[in-house]
Amino acid sequence: MKIQLLEYFRSFLLHAPPYTSTFLVVQEWQEPVLVMRVEELSLFRQGGYRARVGFQTWQGKYGTWVVAVPFCLEVHPQLRVKGIPCLNPRRTADFEIIQQFSREKHIRFLFLSTDLAEATDCLIAWPIVQRSQVRRFIQRIEQTLIGEKLTSAFDPDFEQARQEFQALLTAVEFPDGVWDS
């Protein structure tokens, strides 16, 4: 599979270490998409691996929300890929991705070769229990958000809250999530 990426996103992925996960909006796909470069794309093409995905919200001491999607993919007995990508509910694009988690029955992982020339993907089940939990989180967040959603990429308040949140968690600790084999 070939994927066309905007230049700024290509640049980000090429400069980020392999397995750095982030979200990507793909117009053709309805489900939330987590994307990362991987060192051996062939391992991800084989499928048959297990995945655990969670959804966590946290509010910083100054009221800024952080939405995290911790995951662990058991690709191979010797290869576990873990990540905790975060979303900013104050950003319009991020809020739309959060809403996808409340509606869609799957989450898509998109794996790119190190040079971004090739890709493969997989769908992970996202059950109704998880979607209901996300809807409750959205309601709680919306009660405290004031004003217009942001369209700019950088939000210093969110970055500070995200760093506080990540200092509390490690990639080894995962909230209750969903295993999909």
Q: What is the pLDDT of residues 96-134, one digit of tens each?
A: 999 999 999 999 999 999 999 999 999 999 999 999 999
- Whole-Å CA distances, 3 to 30, 110, 113, 121, 146: 16, 10, 11, 11, 37
128 within domain boundaries: yes
178 within domain boundaries: no
- Structure token digits, residue 30: 């309805």
**Which residue range is the domain that position 158 belongs to?**
7-172
pLDDT digits (tens, 9 = 90+) for 65-74: 999 999 999 9
177 within domain boundaries: no
145 within domain boundaries: yes
> What gap in Å lies between CA 82 and CA 79, rounded to an integer?
10
Say how many domains are in the chain.
1
11 within domain boundaries: yes
131 within domain boundaries: yes
181 within domain boundaries: no
Residue type, 136: R
- Structure token digits, residue 12: 């980000």
115 within domain boundaries: yes
